[in-house]
Amino acid sequence: MKSLVVDDDFTCRRILQAYLSKFGECHIAVNGQEALDAFKASLDDNEPYDVITLDIMMPEMNGHEVLKKIREIEDKNGKFGIESVKIIMTTALDDSENIKHAFREQCEAYLVKPIDRQKLMDKLSEFGLR
């Protein structure tokens, strides 16, 4: 499994990276633009990510914008459904508006910080990545 952790908080990045690196290669990005650059590079290298954990509140570009742009890139590259990357929003925002917005932009899961390790593992299992 190849994963990308996108979060501007150092501690959150390290925790998620520790959880995910047990299952394969795990990269990190500290903001939305860096995440998009990593995502595009993975497609260009024909080694796409299987899962991305994506924070909402970040500098330069928030998680909602990143999610929307990732789906646009996938659409342009003919990646749909099971071929698309699984995106798990990982955020402190627990309000219905942000949750609805994330699912409208086609995330697969939404986990509220602090991230419960077992909930993350359950999502990976649901996606067939564990």
Give the span between the Cα atoms of 19 and 80, in whole angstroms: 27
pLDDT at residue 32 in the model:
96
pLDDT at residue 79 in the model: 85
Q: What is the pLDDT of residue 52?
A: 98
Contact between 5 and 50 (Cβ < 8 Å): no
**pLDDT tens sequence across 51-105:** 999 999 998 899 999 999 999 999 999 888 888 999 999 999 999 999 999 999 9
In the predicted model, what is the mean pLDDT of the chain?
A: 96
State the amino acid at position 70 in one-letter form: I
% of the chain beyond a pLDDT of 90: 92
Please determine, for residue 130, whether its predicted confidence score (pLDDT) is greater than 90.
no
Per-residue pLDDT, 13: 97
Q: From the options 3.30.1150.10, 3.40.50.2300, 3.30.1390.10, 3.30.450.20, give the CATH code of 3-123.
A: 3.40.50.2300
* Domain layout of the chain by residue ranges: 3-123
Contact assessment for residue 23 and residue 130, using Cβ atoms and an 8 Å cutoff? yes
CB proximity list for 61: less than 8 A, separation 6 or greater = 31, 32, 33, 36, 69
Q: What is the mean pLDDT of residues 34-61?
A: 96
Cα 42 to chain centroid distance, Å, stands at 14
